[in-house]
Structure 1
């Protein structure tokens, strides 16, 4: 009986020790963070030195966040975490495309996607001048965040292709200041740049011009009331003194032009396009250029800048040129006595065979009418707009 009892006690003790050994499991092995439904913000929603939100499931407040480009990996501040997103602080010097890596308990997961940070200059309390400036004036722009060495770029659609006017700046307690160069005119987009990559569009400024100013490849002969938009005439005629307008054709081959101020550029485009279909059906103008084509293909180089956006003026644009023809002569852009084609076709049924002209033989009286496109041979003077 004693022997049996001792054996039972031994079995029970063995079971107890065995049970204790099973409860002593090793510590769990960390795994890389499991993150789902990750959505990166768009580039327009990210700014250097500002918070950015990355949406997704599985983020944790204990996570470390790293961004990495081709040069280096940088740990960034994790500002907050919710069930659906995390908010990080984008470094002030960030710019470009980054991968984002999340580290938890020493294990890392790289998110599927990219954080795109624009190369911009971050400014606070930007104040752009409201009034237009005279040529050569000093411009002041208010804002916090400018640095020594920042540059200003001026661009406009009427400048030659790829022309950017770069201007050094002086940092002031209120922002920056810079002086307008002589070749800047009209309504300009203002861009702040820093180094070779960072730039921020600040807004627009107006640089006034006056009739008689020699800018933009020719001479200004008309401006609006604000002196920010108008027309520039080429200093010489295009083609010979006796040029045909184009084919005298049926109304079906009329381009559908206007006589109004502001219509010349569109008129020219329509006339050039219409000649494509005309030449497909008729050969008599193969190898010859119309008045509109001669202006459209004109290229003028002044001080290294190439101006190639000329057009044949509308009737009203040509009349405005007539009004100041004496002034043009004092700026090397005299208009020889002649009749001159406009880009405005005749009215009604006459649109197919005629176009309007302006008589520059007259001293002051405005004389304008329409005549045979092909039968009459007169002068051409190209203009461009700003």
Structure 2
């Protein structure tokens, strides 16, 4: 079997295509991690390289006054008949082009071709981002190689269409249960319908006023939505239980405990169980390295709607931004692609930021 070869000095567009053509569905990133590790060791001798599972880390030791961490996941969602990659004009198609091998390509190219950047640089190409959080490679790296995650600014190459999206929302899921009394539907007056009782839960959701908050010039809007309703066991039985699953996307000025407290207040009087809770990340735009990066982009930052791994860096006290050439609306689709002009633009912006 021919081992894939990556040319880190090549045009980042060509490097992106080469990365895409090495299939790396979550849990099966070994071949791509091998290729990235081999390329960094052979083509970037100025970098210290570390392998951790299917993750590859590299860093400079130049004694600079600050360190910038560039992070991108190597894995993709399952392939949907969209490999190998192919070009159509200014568009590069293929699984992982947008999310987020375009960002990986830019990071790897710059790390190899800028041996003496203005800031010390750490690269983190990690595994299993697209699956459950317990398998995320960043968690393993934090446990086993925490010193590699120390930085003054982290830039996550998530697809943002070349915009700077600061911080991220937190997310909470909860199950609200209403209970009744089971009975034959032909004699419904002998029972109490739990599904009907859930109407009060839905009324609270319908009347809920979403909060908007400005943080570092970025406007975050919260949202509380019902995402699933389950109840009933048969077509002739009055249901005695109904579960409404709600999702709360909250601004990063709330911590996890504050988010849970708020949701419990909204549904006061109901039986509620939190099933998932992850805090968001504050923008951290006041950090000097973040200000310098924003100057390089020449664009105003926007709030990140959704949760990303910047939350993990924020939990470590590291200001973190989302910045990548991919289009988030194309992530995970059969027609996933990236505009190659965004790749070139991102490489130019980061080179301006990092070049001495």
TM-score by length of 2: 0.21
Larger Rg: 1
TM-score by length of 1: 0.20
